[in-house]
Amino acid sequence: MFGAAIGEILGLHCQAKLNEAVPPCWLEVERWGFEPLDHHLEPTLGKAIVTRAQDLIQLCPTSTQGLLESSQPSASNPRITPQTDATQWAIALLPNLLCQYDSPEKLIIQTQTEFISQALPQALPLPQTSVSTDILRILATTISLILSGKPISETLISDQILATASLQNVTVPSHLTAQLTWVDTAIAQHWGLEAVRQFGKGQPLPYQTSSIQTAALEPISVALYGFLSTPEDFRLSLLRVAQLGYAPQTTCTLTGILSGAYTGMAGIPLSWLQSIQTRQGQPNSLLQVWGLDGTALVHLADQLLQIWGGVYTPARSSFSYPVILPPKIRYP
């Protein structure tokens, strides 16, 4: 959760810097990257994630209601649906992805069922819902691989995601398959940031293979590239993606989710954690972007852990029992 929060805060600062004539100084990112924002904020992904987590805690971890939209919209936190932004909708389902990381296929099937039940009476465009489900599948499968302790840096991420889809008799669209192939190629050939920029702009590369075609990059593929390039280094993964300047709010949040799940809190720089949290008498970016402070976010994450651990009413329970996990399994 903190990985996602730090990623979005940095991404929002990078988004603001894109509109400035002078490029940001990345050597001073600790100074400007996590301070309170001084510009008007659109509704943030963090508030959608918090709303989803609160709904999950209050209702039931297996509830099928509200997967396609926030069940408690407001002026400051409107509904994020697959039709408004497929990738941001998948990000907003982070609490569900964490609580069901050991069975991501159930979440996908649950989502597909709700798509069908809503698409028929409302005549929703099926191609958009299909893309949304596939982006969710990529994110859910990757989180599942990370939290299950699989050697994610030693295998082709596309093979694992496509294998999971094939078990459900699902064919991932060629567009997203090409994106996954690009991630594998970029990692195997050790592409640098400039090569990624050229590829995203449609410019040919001297060492580009014929197996991949130049195409617009999806935020999920950029985040996978950043995470898999340096999976052990949260700081470096996030900074490299931020420097690309590609949809910073979305890509940085995704990278923070993946890297944070892999390294845990211990992998997040302490100075970054301190920068976003409350200082007496001063505003802080975490409260500004996510609507709660660090203590409240820890409590929310603890309640999600209770749901994953089988506590039926986490909002009213004190989770003082130890959770025993098999070796190499990470906490969600």
Whether 78 shows a pLDDT value over 90: the answer reads no
Residues in the chain: 332
Q: Which runs of E-coded beta strand occur in the chain?
A: none
Whether 67 shows a pLDDT value over 80: the answer reads no
Cα 138 to Cα 12, 69, 153, 299, 310: the distances in Å are 24, 19, 16, 28, 26
What confidence score (pLDDT) does residue 75 get? 40
* Cβ partners under 8 Å of residue 47, min gap 6: 76, 77, 289, 290, 291
Environment class of residue 83 by beta-carbon count within 10 Å: exposed (0-12), middle (13-18) or buried (19+)?
middle
Q: What is the DSSP letter of 100?
A: T
Residue with tokens 């001084």: 38
What confidence score (pLDDT) does residue 118 get? 55
In whole angstroms, give the CA distance from residue 286 to residue 302.
18
SS3 state of residue 43: coil
What confidence score (pLDDT) does residue 239 get? 94
Which tokens sit at 217?
A: 């990059």
* Percent of the chain whose predicted confidence (pLDDT) is above 70: 67
Highest mean pLDDT among 78-82, 115-119, 219-223, 274-278: 219-223
